[in-house]
Amino acid sequence: MSKENNEYKRRLVLLDTNAIMHRGYHALPDFETSGGQPTGALYGLCLMLLSTIDDLNPDEIIACFDRPEPTHRHEKFADYKAHRPDTDEELVEQIKKAHDVLDAFAIPHYELEGFEADDLLGTIAEEMKKDKDTQVVIASGDHDTLQLVQDKKTLVYTQRRGLKDTILYDEEGVKEKYGFAPEYLPDYKGLKGDSSDNIPGIKGVGEKTATRVIKNFGHLEEAYDKLADDGVDFAKAGISSRFADKIKDGKDAAMFSKELATIRLDADIDFIFPDTPWKDRLDVEKINSLFDELEFQSLKRRVKRELFPDKNESGSQAKDGTKETSEDDLSGHEKAELKIMLWLCDSTKTDSTLEDVQTYTDTNKLNQARKQLTEEMKEKDVYSVFTDIEKPLIPVVAKMEENGVCLDRKYLSDLSEEYHSRLEKLRDEIHRQAGTEFNVNSPQQLAEVMFEKMEIPTTGLAKTSTGSISTRESELKKLADDHKIAELVLDYRHVQKLVSTYIDVLQERISDDGRLHAEFVQAGTTTGRMSSKNPNLQNIPVRSEDGKKIRGAFVPADGYNLVSLDYSQIELRIAAWLSGDKKLTEIFQEGKDVHAETAGYMFKKEPDEVTKSERDKAKVINFGILYGMGVNALKDNLGEDTTKDQAKQYLDDYLDTYEGLAEFMEAKKQAVRNQGYTTTYFGRRRYFPEIYSSRSHVQARAEREAINAPIQGTQADIIKRAMVDIDNKIIQEAGDDVRLLLQVHDELIYEITENKTQNYTEDIKALMESVVSPEETNGIRMVADASIGKRWSKL
C-alpha cells in the first residue's frame, strides 16, 4: 500500500497485539524451538508485523496490549467473555515475550489496567483525528475494530483466514461487507449479539433482521423511537410483527449489548508520537539475536531482505544485464507454479504466497527463486510430481473455479428459515428443560444451570483449566442419554454451526451469474490433497441428513445434469497395493466385499454369515487403522457397547490378520523417524518436522499421520492425474457440453448436457479407472462409481 496518491503525508500503524497473537497461537499450536519452547503466537505476531511493514509501508508503528485484570466491561457484565477458557500458560508466556519482539523492532507499546487493547487503539485513533497529515491503520487479528474505520483516515488491516490472508478495510469496504457504515457496528452487535465476546444481544434476532433494522433506521436510539410509535415503519421495512415485538421487548438487552460492544475512545494514556521514524531506530543485531533465540531463520532472512537489503538486491537488473522478473511480470499460472514448487520442496508450506517463496529462497528475484526451487525439486526427486501432476493441473483448476456451480436461491432461503426456526425451538426447549432463560452460547452459564441449578452429577466429567466442569462436546455426550438438556445443547451447537458455516454463507456467496465460485487450492494440504475456501465445500457433512439438505442446494444449469464420479474405497485399495498384504490384495483382486471379509476374519465367521453390526464394526476398523487410530479412538468410534479391552482385541486381531499391512505401517513409522518424511507412489514427499519435537504426544501424532500419508498422498496424486486426463481427452473437445464444477476428496462433480450425459459419464469413468494400470497395482483396480441427478444430494 503505497503512500503515493495518498492525501496523507505519513501513516501510523497500530498493532492489536493480543488479537494477532491469539490467531497465531491457534493456527500454529505445535510451533516450537528445538528445545521445546512454544513459539506459534510469537511467529504469528512477527509474520503479521512483517506483512504490515511490507503492505502498508508505515512511518510509525505503535502496539497495544490487553491486561490480565478484569476490564470496565467485566465490571458491567460478569459474563463478558466468560465462555472463554483461561488463557493457556504457553500463550501467556509468549505474550510476555512479545514485549521483547516489539522492543527489538523499536516499537513503543501501551497497556492500561481496566481497558482492552481495542480501547487504547480507539483512543489513539481518535486523538490522531486532530492531525490532518496522518493516516491511521489498525492491524488486528479480528474484526472488532472495524467500528473505528472512518473514510480513508482510519483503516483496519486484518486477517481473514490463517495468518497470511489479509484484507484492508476502508469505509466503503465495511459498507460492502455489512451493508452499512462502520459507526453502526455497535448497534448491530446490540441487536444480534457477539458470541465470540459473549455479548448477548436480543434472543432470536439474527444477522438479517439486525442488518435490516440498521439499514432502515440507523442507530438503535432512532430505531426505538420509530418502534415506540405504531410500528408501521418497521412493517414497511419488511420486519415482521413477531421480530418487531422481540426487538421492542429486548430494548434493555440491546442497549446494554451496544454499550459492551462500543470501543472506548477516552482511555487515560499518555500517547506521544515518536520524534524519530521507527525505521531509523531499528537495530539489525538486536532483531537477529532475538530471531536466533526463537529459531525464526526464515523470518530473519526476510528481515534482512526487506528491512536491510544488500545493494545488489535493490536493483532491477541482473548482473548479466537482463531484466529481473517482478510479481507484476508474472501471469496467474506462473505465480501458481512458484507457490506449488515451494510446497513440493517443503510440504508444510501450504497455500503460500510469493512473499513466502522469496523468504524461502532468500531472494527478491523471482526468476532466481524459480531456478533455486527447480534445483531443489530435482535434488529431492519431486520434479516429476511438478511436471507430470501439479503443473498440468493449474489450468484445470482455474477453469473449475471459473465454471462455479449453480445454487438454488429459493431452496437456500427456505433452508435458512427452517434452520433458524430449529435453532429458536431448540433454544426454547433448552430453557424449558432448565426452568430458566440463559445464554446457551455461554459455557459458564450452561455449566451453572446444569451442574448447580439442575444438580446434574459431574462424576467422570473433565474440568476446564480454571477448575470448572467442562461443557465441551465430549463431556455433554457422556450426559446425553440420561439428561435431555445435554442432548439438546449438542443439537443446538450442531445446527448453529451448519447455519453459520454453510446455510447463510452460501447465500451470501452467490455471484451475479447465480453461481458459487469457490476457491480451490492445489497446494492446500500437507498430504497433497486439494483444499477449498470461500467457502470450504470439503467439510460439508457427507452422510448426515443435514449434509444432504445442504447439498440439495447445488443444482445444474438448465439443460444439464449433475454427474458425480467417486473413487470407491480407494484408500483401502491403495493400502493393499502399496503394502502388498496378501489377504487384502486377494479381496480386491477377486472383487469381494472388503468389510464383510474383514468381519469374517475378526469374528471367525464366513463372510456371508456376518451381521450388519459386525460388518459396520469392520468398516470402522478398516478405515480407522489406516489413519493410525489407537485403542481409545477405536473404542470411541465403535460405539458405547465396545469396551477398551474389546477395542484392543479388535486391533490386535486386525493386525494379525493383515500382517503385510501391519509391517507396512511399522515401516512408515520407522521411515519418518529416520528421514523426517514419507513418499507417495509417484514420489511426492510429506515432511514431518513434528517428529523431532521434544513433546512425546506431538511425536506420536506425527507417527500416526505418517502411516496414512503415503496412502492419502497417492490418492491425491491419482485424482489430480485423472482431472488432467479428463480435461485433455474429453473437456477440451467437448467444450461447454462438459464442465468440471467441484473436486471434493475422492469425488469429481461435472455438469454435462442432458442428451450427452450417459456417453460422457462412461468416458470419464473409464479415464478415472485407468490412471494406474492393474499391472502397476498388482491386479487391484481403482474403481469409480458414477451417479447422475438434478441435485448434489441425489447423487
pLDDT, tens digit, 9 for 90 and up, residues 515-534: 999 999 999 999 999 999 98
Q: What are the two backbone dihedrals, phi and then psi, of residue 429, each rounded to the nearest 5 degrees?
A: -70, -35
Residue 287 lies inside a defined structural domain of this protein:
yes
Residue 167 lies inside a defined structural domain of this protein:
yes
Residue 188 lies in a domain: no
Q: Which of 489, 516, 543 is the last residue of a domain?
A: 516
Query: Helix, strand or coil for residue 275?
Result: coil
Query: Based on the domain organization, do 169 and 285 belong to the same domain?
Result: yes
The pLDDT of residue 1 is: 56
Angle at 559 between CA 556 and CA 564, to 5 degrees: 40
Q: Which three cell numbers stand for residue 131?
A: 492531525
- E strands, 294-437, are 405-407
Q: Answer whether residue 481 is part of any domain.
A: yes
Would you give the DSSP letter of residue 29?
T
Looking at residue 306, what is its pLDDT?
80
Q: What is the pTM of this model?
A: 0.70
Take residue 305 and report the three cell numbers written for it: 531482505
What's the rounded Cα separation, in Å, for the pair 27 and 33?
A: 16
Looking at residue 83, what is its pLDDT?
A: 45
Angle between helices 220-228 and 185-192 (to 10 degrees): 60
Cβ atoms 618, 602 nearer than 8 A: yes
pLDDT value of position 431: 94
Q: DSSP class of residue 394?
A: H
Query: Could you say which of 501, 516, 531 is where a domain stops?
Result: 516
Using 50 as the pLDDT threshold, list the residues of the chain that sit under it: 82-84, 311-323
So what's the pLDDT on residue 355? 85
Cα(62)–Cα(52) distance, rounded to whole angstroms? 12
Q: Among residues 340, 282, 323, which one has the least CA distance to residue 306?
A: 282
Mark whether 161 and 29 lie in a shared domain: yes
Helices of type H across 170-283: 171-178, 185-192, 207-217, 220-228, 232-236, 241-249, 251-261, 278-281
What confidence score (pLDDT) does residue 325 get? Answer: 59
In a domain? residue 119? yes
Residue 278 maps to which CATH number?
A: 3.40.50.1010
Within a domain: 89? yes
- Max CA-CA distance within the chain? 85
Burial of 183 (0-12, 13-18, 19+ CB in 10 A): middle
pLDDT the model gives residue 43? 92
Give the per-residue pLDDT at 310.
55
Last residue of a domain, one of 490, 516, 542: 516
CA 642 to chain CA centroid, nearest Å: 33
Torsion of CA 327, 328, 330, 333, to 10 degrees: 90
Closest CA to 427 of 453, 446, 448: 446
- The C-alpha atoms of residue 277 and residue 135 are separated, in whole angstroms, by 15
Burial class of residue 357 in the structure, from the number of CB atoms within 10 Å of its CB (0-12 exposed, 13-18 middle, 19+ buried): buried
- Domain check: are 304 and 426 in the same one? no
CA dihedral 540, 543, 547, 549 (to 10 degrees): 150
Q: Is 771 left (phi over 0), alpha (psi -120 to 50) or beta?
A: alpha
Please give the Cα distance from 459 to 480 (Å, whole number): 14
Sequence-distant contacts of 687-690: CB under 8 A, at least 24 apart: 687/346, 687/347, 687/348, 687/526, 689/348, 690/30
Residue 590 maps to a domain: no
Identify the residue whose cell numbers are 503479521: 48
Angle in degrees, 0-180, between the axes of helices 696-726 and 757-769, rounded to the nearest 10? 130
Residue 323 lies in a domain: no
Angle at 465 between CA 464 and CA 470, to 5 degrees: 5
State the CATH number of the domain containing residue 422.
1.20.1060.10
The number of distinct structural domains making up the chain is 2
Length of the chain: 795
Structural domain that includes position 19: 1-175+274-308
State the Cα–Cα distance between residues 693 and 13, nearest whole angstrom: 36
